[in-house]
Amino acid sequence: MNSYFRRQLVDYVEYHRDWWNGIMHVFGIILLFFGSVLPLSTWSVSLFGIHTSAAVIAALPVLAYWLLLDAALGIGIVVAAVFLLSGAGFLSAHLSVMGLWSVTLVLIVAGITCQVVGHRVFERRQPALLDNPTHFLLGPMFVMAKLFIALGFKNDLAAILRTPPKQAPSGQL
């Protein structure tokens, strides 16, 4: 784990203390990713002689970023992305254009709703990305870190994710 990721994760954790908010993020992140790649899965692209979709091409930079932040978590996300991209490819091949965009809209609205409910109802604070837009890319790493910790891996991350919340400065709530 690089030091940049460690610093970002410490900050991100402050916005994600509630267990239910974490559950909402698992569903929200999966729905948002799937909804984002679904329409891109309809466009065939040839890259270095390999036929793929625009969804795969669009996902490659962020997958590389996650691998650079932490190789083990990045590999976990790549594996999950392969399943989601494959599912999006399958679904896009079997839906009409109207059906595809309807499913995309539902997935994105449901994903955003999960995130908002998680923060407003359970965490009772604004989403982290409003204060730091780079946190948009940390959500999947946070979810994968929670999964790795639950499976007994990544004890170095367990210590970060279990740190007590920061105290509010005197005179502030």
Let me know: does 41 contact 92? Beta carbons within 8 Å. yes
Name residue 32's amino acid. Answer: L
Question: For the residues 86-105, what does the mean pLDDT come to?
Answer: 96
Task: List pLDDT tens digits, range 106-118.
Answer: 999 999 999 999 9
| Dihedrals phi, psi of 62, to nearest 5 degrees | -75, -35
Cβ neighbours of 92 (radius 10 Å) = 22
Q: Which one is predicted more confidently, 170 or 109?
A: 109
Q: What pLDDT does residue 142 have?
A: 87
* Model confidence at 169: pLDDT above 50: no
Q: How many residues does the chain have?
A: 173
Q: What pLDDT does residue 157 have?
A: 79
**pLDDT above 70 as % of the chain:** 92
> What's the CA gap between 110 and 32, in Å, rounded?
8
> What's the CA gap between 106 and 121, in Å, rounded?
21
Task: List pLDDT tens digits, range 149-167.
Answer: 888 887 777 777 765 544 4
Q: Encoding tokens for residue 129? A: 């990305």
Kind and range of the H or E run holding 46: strand 44-47
| Dihedrals phi, psi of 60, to nearest 5 degrees | -55, -45
> What's the CA gap between 147 and 102, in Å, rounded?
31
Q: Encoding tokens for residue 158? A: 């367990």
* Model confidence at 139: pLDDT above 50: yes
Kind and range of the H or E run holding 159: helix 155-161
Q: At what angle do helices 3-13 and 139-150 cross, to 10 degrees?
A: 90
Let me know: does 53 contact 43? Beta carbons within 8 Å. yes
Q: What pLDDT does residue 52 have?
A: 92
Q: Which one is predicted more confidently, 12 or 71?
A: 71
Task: List pLDDT tens digits, range 38-91.
Answer: 999 999 988 788 899 999 999 999 999 999 999 999 999 999 999 999 999 999
Domain residue limits, the chain: 3-11+20-161
pTM over 0.85: no
> What's the CA gap between 117 and 120, in Å, rounded?
5
